[in-house]
Structure 1
Amino acid sequence: MFRFLNKYIQGCLARRKIHRNRLVTKDGRCNIEYGNIKYSNHLSLLADFWTTFVEIRWRFVLLIFIASFTLSWFIFGLLWYWIARSNGDLPWQNPKLDHSACIDNILGLTTAFLYSLETQTTIGYGGRALTHHCPGAVALLIIQSLLGAIINCFMCGVILSKISLPKKRAKTISFSDMAVISPKNGSLCLSIRVANLRKTLMIGSQIYGKLLRTTNSPDGETIIMDQVNIDFIVDAGKDNLFFVCPLMLYHMIDKSSPFFEMAVDTLHKQDFELVVFLDGTAESTSSACQVRTSFIPQEIMWGYNFLPIISRNKEGKYRVDFSNFSKVVPVATAHCAYCYHNIKGHHHHSREGHDNQGFDVININDPPSVTRM
Structure 2
Amino acid sequence: QRYVRKEGKCNVHHGNVRETYRYLTDIFTTLVDLKWRFNLLIFVMVYTVTWLFFGMIWWLIAYIRGDMDHIEDPSWTPCVTNLNGFVSAFLFSIETETTIGYGYRVITDKCPEGIILLLIQSVLGSIVNAFMVGCMFVKISQPKKRAETLVFSTHAVISMRDGKLCLMFRVGDLRNSHIVEASIRAKLIKSKQTSEGEFIPLNQTDINVGYYTGDDRLFLVS
Taking structure 1 as the reference length, what is the TM-score of the superposition? 0.54
Structure 1, unaligned runs of 5 or more: 1-20, 246-282, 284-373
> Is the Cα–Cα contact under 8 Å of residues 23 and 30 in structure 2 kept in the other structure?
yes
Which of 151, 160, 182 is residue 137 of structure 2 equivalent to? 160
For 2:59, the equivalent position in structure 1 comes to: 81
Q: Secondary structure at the match of 2:84?
A: coil
> C-alpha distance in 2, partners of 1:121/1:63?
19
Displacement of 1:142 in angstroms is: 1.4
> Is the Cα–Cα contact under 8 Å of residues 204 and 240 in structure 1 kept in the other structure?
no
For 1:130, the equivalent position in structure 2 comes to: 107
- Please list, as runs of the form range in 1=range in 2, the aligned pairs for 1:18-97 lying within 5 A after superposition: 21-39=1-19, 42-91=20-69, 97=74
Displacement of 1:168 in angstroms is: 3.7
RMSD between aligned alpha carbons? Answer: 2.5
> C-alpha distance in 2, partners of 1:116/1:90?
17
Report the AA paired with residue 184 of structure 1: R
Displacement of 1:96 in angstroms is: 5.3
> Is the Cα–Cα contact under 8 Å of residues 184 and 217 in structure 2 kept in the other structure?
no
For 1:118, the equivalent position in structure 2 comes to: 95
> C-alpha distance in 2, partners of 1:240/1:31?
25
> C-alpha distance in 1, partners of 2:216/2:9?
26
Give percent identity, aligned residues only.
Answer: 42
Q: How many residues align?
A: 221
> C-alpha distance in 2, partners of 1:53/1:96?
49
Which of 167, 187, 198 is residue 175 of structure 2 equivalent to? 198
Structure having the larger proportion of residues in helix: 2
Tell me: higher relative CO, structure 1 or 2? Use CA pairs within 8 A at least 6 residues apart.
1
Displacement of 1:204 in angstroms is: 3.7
Structure having the larger proportion of residues in strand: 1
Bigger drift between 112-121 and 191-200 goes to: 191-200
Report the AA paired with residue 70 of structure 1: T
Displacement of 1:55 in angstroms is: 1.4
Go from structure 1 to structure 2 and tell me whether the alpha carbon gap of 1:109 and 1:155 turns closer, same or farther (over 3 Å shift).
same
Displacement of 1:23 in angstroms is: 2.2
Which of 163, 188, 192 is residue 211 of structure 1 equivalent to? 188
> C-alpha distance in 1, partners of 2:206/2:103?
69
For 2:217, the equivalent position in structure 1 comes to: 241
Report the AA paired with residue 10 of structure 2: C
Go from structure 1 to structure 2 and tell me whether the alpha carbon gap of 1:29 and 1:239 turns closer, same or farther (over 3 Å shift).
closer
For 1:222, the equivalent position in structure 2 comes to: 199
Which has the higher Rg, Structure 1 or Structure 2?
A: 1
Displacement of 1:97 in angstroms is: 5.0
